[in-house]
Amino acid sequence: MHSNQNNVLSFAPDRNQVNLPPQNIEAEEAILGGIMLDPEAMTRVSDILVSDAFYISAHKDIYQAAARLHATYQPTDLLSVTAWLADHNLLDRIGGRNKLATLVDRTVSAVNIDALANLVMEKYRRRQLIRAGSEVVKLAYQTETELPLVLNLAEAEVFTVTQNQSDECCKVFSAQDMGIELFQKLEMGNMAGDKVGWYDLENITGGIYPSSLVVVAAESHMGKTHFMISYAYEIMTKLGKPVLYVTPEMDKNQLNARMLARITGVDASMIQTNTQCYWEQIAQGIGQMVELPWKVYEHSSPTTTMIASAVRRAIAEFDSSIGAVFIDYLQQIPLESGGNMAFEVGKITRQIRDIAKSHKIPVFLGCQINRGNQTTADKRPNRHLLRNSGEIFEVCDQLIMLYRDAVYTKDPSDRTIELIVEKNRLYGKLGTATMLCDLSTSKFLNLAR
């Protein structure tokens, strides 16, 4: 047996003592012995434990042998594991038959194998954290690399240790398990998207779904920013969920003036120019705004790496998942090279989608479109007008295109806006929802039924 005394803190350490990485050899041995002793043991740990978690390389080989046998519905007893290792020329490498027999002899039962598996995984994650720390040190010495990039890479390195811990095992699900899970989700209503009460739009989109990338596209002055501010407000107030707004174009004070207009109903231009005339409403509105779960990331040209870092920080500071991330807008994100523009825009869109998927949050991405529709009788936009890249359409889960007839007719009394759903991977429906909008207060309303 190996001692685990190296994990005990000492107030007077021996300076010549070598600190081993976190590990628990006894737990590893007990797990392997339990797997070969109890036919059901592998089923209890296979979803918890990965082979890389074993500190001793021989233990890793033995566990992989048992996992392969288990995956093909074969027993994982001593004879079966021995035969598998021998067939794959690994028996001598792990210490021979005597090593396997010793593991079984030392194991009384597999009754605590679940707890032991969690213990081994904990030691493994600590070693991962040490490795990440070493990588951060190396990054810090790369003085030729710009510091903002180094900080973002370092943050991402540490974050990978903590995120998606439950996904470390590659799971293959049976039809029975999936059917039960689907039934439970449907029964509890967990498959439906979150709804804020925009009935006509939600009848088409199905609501707001986690892990989704929704592109909000329009030409200038159609109301992209107003739409996203209003949607953000509804998510915070109707659903009670936090929102992160990434604003490369406007500074945070201009953005917050529009959010304040949405809260108070006071024209955003009046808030900025005639503050004293509306001071009472403004003061009350600011009191409401500071209570909202609202964060803004302001940067004139944020990279996708910087946006990902802002999302991670917002999640940590909110101490909860985020209801949505709004990025206003795609063309303000700098291209990484002087190569093909369509390729680079598509790459950025994929990276933003990865943020949505990895954090399981909806991301709304504003996007400018070309003005090719202005030469046609029907000025309404379509997906072919997405600026620089048709790949945006391929990557996104939903595409919502905005159109206001008033932009062309110059009719100030026309407050209708069309929300044209051109793609809907999440819910399947396509169509146009019509709402009323007041751009002076970034307010969107349902049409009277």
> With helix as H, strand as E and coil as C, how does 256-277 read?
HHHHHHHHHCCCHHHHHHCHHH
- Residue 11 resides in a domain: no
Instruction: State residue 177's pLDDT score.
Output: 72
**Do residues 126 and 201 both lie within one domain?**
no
Name the domain count of the chain. 2
- Residue 1 resides in a domain: no
Q: Which of 248, 209, 246 is nearest to 428 (CA)?
A: 209
Give Cα 20 distance to the centre of its chain: 34
**Angle at CA 333, nearest 5°, toward 331 and 350?**
90
Give Cα 158 distance to the centre of its chain: 16
Instruction: State residue 12's pLDDT score.
Output: 42
Which of helix, strand or coil describes residue 152? helix
Which of helix, strand or coil describes residue 391? helix
Is 325 within 8 Å of 363 (Cβ atoms)?
yes
Range of the domain at 158: 19-167
**Exposed / middle / buried, residue 82 (Cβ in 10 Å: 0-12, 13-18, 19+):** buried
Q: Which of 36, 361, 16 is nearest to 208 (CA)?
A: 361
- Residue 348 resides in a domain: yes
The 8 Å CB, 24+ separation contacts for 190-195 are: 193/426, 193/427, 194/235, 194/239, 194/241, 194/323
The CATH number given to whatever domain includes residue 103 is 1.10.860.10
The CATH number given to whatever domain includes residue 290 is 3.40.50.300
Orientation angle between helical segments 25-37 and 96-106, nearest 10 degrees: 90
DSSP 323-366: SEEEES-GGGSPPSSSS-HHHHHHHHHHHHHHHHHHHT--EEEE
- Residue 303 resides in a domain: yes
d(CA 146, CA 54) in angstroms, rounded, equals 37
**Do residues 291 and 369 both lie within one domain?**
yes
Instruction: State residue 1's pLDDT score.
Output: 43
Consecutive 10-residue averages of pLDDT for the chain (449 residues)? 40 56 93 91 85 93 91 87 94 94 90 90 90 88 86 79 54 74 75 89 93 92 94 96 93 93 94 88 94 93 87 84 91 76 84 89 92 71 74 91 92 93 89 95 87
